[in-house]
Amino acid sequence: MARLPEYLRALHNLAETGNETVSSEGLANAAGVNSAKLRKDLSHLGSYGTRGVGYDVALLIEQIEYVLGLTQRRAVALVGVGNLGHALAGYDGFASRGFRIAALLDADPARVGEEIHGMVVRHVDELPQVAAEESIAIGVIATPASAAQRVADQLVAVGVTSILNFAPCVLSVPDGVDVRKVDLAIELQILSFHEHRKASLTGLPRTGGSALTALPGGLAVTEGQEAIGT
Amino acid sequence: MARLPEYLRALHNLAETGNETVSSEGLANAAGVNSAKLRKDLSHLGSYGTRGVGYDVALLIEQIEYVLGLTQRRAVALVGVGNLGHALAGYDGFASRGFRIAALLDADPARVGEEIHGMVVRHVDELPQVAAEESIAIGVIATPASAAQRVADQLVAVGVTSILNFAPCVLSVPDGVDVRKVDLAIELQILSFHEHRKASLTGLPRTGGSALTALPGGLAVTEGQEAIGT
DNA sequence: CGCGATTTGTGCACGTCTTCACAAGCGCCT
DNA sequence: AGGCGCTTGTGAAGACGTGCACAAATCGCG
Ligand SMILES: NC(=O)c1ccc[n+]([C@@H]2O[C@H](COP(=O)([O-])OP(=O)(O)OC[C@H]3O[C@@H](n4cnc5c(N)ncnc54)[C@H](O)[C@@H]3O)[C@@H](O)[C@H]2O)c1
Ligand SMILES: NC(=O)c1ccc[n+]([C@@H]2O[C@H](COP(=O)([O-])OP(=O)(O)OC[C@H]3O[C@@H](n4cnc5c(N)ncnc54)[C@H](O)[C@@H]3O)[C@@H](O)[C@H]2O)c1
């Protein structure tokens, strides 16, 4: 499930504060989900809880990390060392979560050779060599949208089967290749939508709203963390 | 729906390439979704298509932008002008998608006063004044996780009801406040999970796998763009 | 004017996810 | 040893999202 990483982070926090065990309710709170949901999720990866006690934090971390494939530190290739790429290259959250930036790549000759956080930027056409040197598990695309598809093709060509795409466009990849997208503008627009909806509700409490704003049941925006109680 | 922004982007692309109308299938392809799903989505905001012809691109853009509340350019306050904050501040995708960075805020005195892309960084404690100057619609948190909850509280205190959180932690906010989270590590871990699963399947084709890797029906990871055909 | 090609809008069925509620199990205390 | 409180694991029901398949509607053309 997509919630496993969330649980993992919460578990690490708990481990740091000295907790040995945690109840489903406690962990659910820390991860911001329903406790029944959490129990069902965990039950899917086997039974690692003790009734009356809870889950062993260390054991659970181990199990989740195994399921997520974090037992091996995966190599990440970052393509596009611009505005965003610089920030990503300097992000320590990679290393602390089981990943390692193995290469920085860019197409701009002016950028190639530049050293960022101890890593030298190489040209994107060197991708085959980079992949030969060490197995790239994940490719991160931080180029403009116009170049994203081409970069994706290059990544796929050297055997990368997982891509994280920051460019605002859809990528076409062969079967067996996973693509996940992070699009800032989409997130903002979803928030804007909610703002608009909230404004319509408070502003015109009785008109019923147009068919556009007051949709039947409200437009469901999936995956939202949405208004966790105080 | 959360897919509306995706449609909107595809529509803008189509408009730029001179298309007047688009069929549900065409737009679905451009947005990477099923055509039936797209039609159902669009039908929820009223009927703006013409049978036998398709949808009027310009009209549809207008309608979606209205639903998303993009008719007014919303002001965004960015809190935490560090590594990531700098990249965000320089991102032109804000402006081109209906948003405007109205303020840059940070707690570090060394950062306050710094000028980034024509905007001067102000202290986070000036948030009330900033909010008074102009109505902040959305707050973006790009601070370390340890400060995120505090910043969220400050944002809520000045009336912000939509928050985009880049810090890897769950935020507690009152009812009526929407929070969306972008967590890079989670995205990578989901990809890692798929990598692990793929490796298990090809490596041990017949063992059936442990209960951990070969879950019944496979673990569903929602929202994935996942392997769109060539 | 009528007909066929095309495309939308939607009823329906199916699978998935979510949540409640509770029995079964475990540990602790007496 | 037994009882009691707490917590897990799960069955069942409901809500929800998805996709198929088709009727209704529109346009262009003869
Ligand atoms: N800056 C942000 O905060 C931000 C936020 C969200 C999404 N994005 C998206 O991330 C992408 C990058 O944004 P940015 O602000 O860093 O842009 P940028 O222009 O600063 O950087 C893009 C980099 O990609 C390189 N590049 C171009 N074509 C390439 C190719 N074919 N192969 C390899 N490298 C290539 C360029 O040389 C440049 O260094 C854009 O698609 C943008 O929409 C940016
Ligand atoms: N850098 C990345 O690529 C990246 C990617 C994903 C997520 N993140 C997350 O984004 C957040 C920021 O990352 P970063 O690399 O920019 O870190 P950073 O340390 O470079 O920047 C953090 C900034 O927040 C400021 N800050 C600290 N406390 C504050 C407060 N109470 N109020 C206002 N400002 C405050 C600091 O002064 C600093 O300027 C972190 O939570 C990180 O996990 C970063």
What does pLDDT average to over chain A? Answer: 90
* A151-196 pLDDT tens trace: 999 999 999 999 999 999 999 999 999 999 999 999 999 999 999 9
Are A162 and B189 a contacting pair at CB < 8 A? no
Question: What pLDDT, on the 0 to 100 scale, is given for residue B203?
Answer: 63
- Of B100, B91, B104, give the one whose Cα is nearest residue B73: B100
Whether the Cβ atoms of residue B196 and residue A151 lie closer than 8 Å to each other = no
pLDDT given for residue A221 in this prediction: 52
Q: Which residues contact B108 (CB under 8 A, 6 or more apart)?
A: none
Question: Where along chain A do its domains lie?
Answer: 4-67, 74-184
Q: Do B198 and A161 touch (CB under 8 A)?
A: yes
Does ligand 1 have an atom closer than 6 angstroms to the CB of A83?
A: yes
Render pLDDT for B93-102 as a digit per residue (tens, 0 to 9). Answer: 999 999 999 9
pLDDT at A210: 43
Name the residue with the closest Cα to ligand 2, atom 37: B108
pLDDT of residue B198: 87
Q: Tell me which of B83, B155, B180 to substitute to probe ligand 2's pocket, judged by most ligand atoms within 8 Å of the beta carbon.
A: B83
pLDDT in tens, B129-172: 999 999 999 999 999 999 999 999 999 999 999 999 999 999 99
Q: What is the rounded distance in angstroms from the CA atom of residue B74 to the CA atom of residue A226?
A: 20
Tell me which CATH code domain A4-67 carries. 1.10.10.10
HEC-encoded secondary structure of chain B:
CCCHHHHHHHHHHHHHCCCCEECHHHHHHHHCCCHHHHHHHHHCCCCCEECCCEEEHHHHHHHHHHHCCCCCCEEEEEECCCHHHHHHHCCCCCHHHCEEEEEEEECCCCCCCCEECCEEEEEHHHHHHHHHHCCCCEEEECCCHHHHHHHHHHHHHCCCCEEEECCCCCCCCCCCCEEEECCHHHHHHHHHHHHHHHHHHHHCCCCCCCCCCCCCCCCCCCCCCCCCCC
Please give the model's pTM, rounded to 2 decimal places. 0.92
For B74-184, CATH gives: 3.40.50.720
Least confident of A94-98, A123-127, A223-227, B84-88: A223-227
| B115-116 sheet: strands from edge to edge | B115-116, B119-123, B99-106, B74-79, B138-141, B162-165, B178-181
pLDDT at residue A218 greater than cutoff 70: no
Look at residue A117 in the predicted model and tell me its pLDDT: 93
Nearest residue, CA→C1' of C10: B40
Contacts for A100 with CB less than 8 Å, ≥ 6 apart: A73, A74, A75, A76, A94
Contact A185 B93 (CB under 8 A): yes
Angstroms from A52 CA to nearest CA on chain B? 24
B100-118: pLDDT as tens digits: 999 999 999 999 999 999 9
Confidence at B218, pLDDT banded by 50, 70, 90: very low
Checking DSSP bridges between strand B138-141 and strand B162-165, what pairing results, if any?
parallel
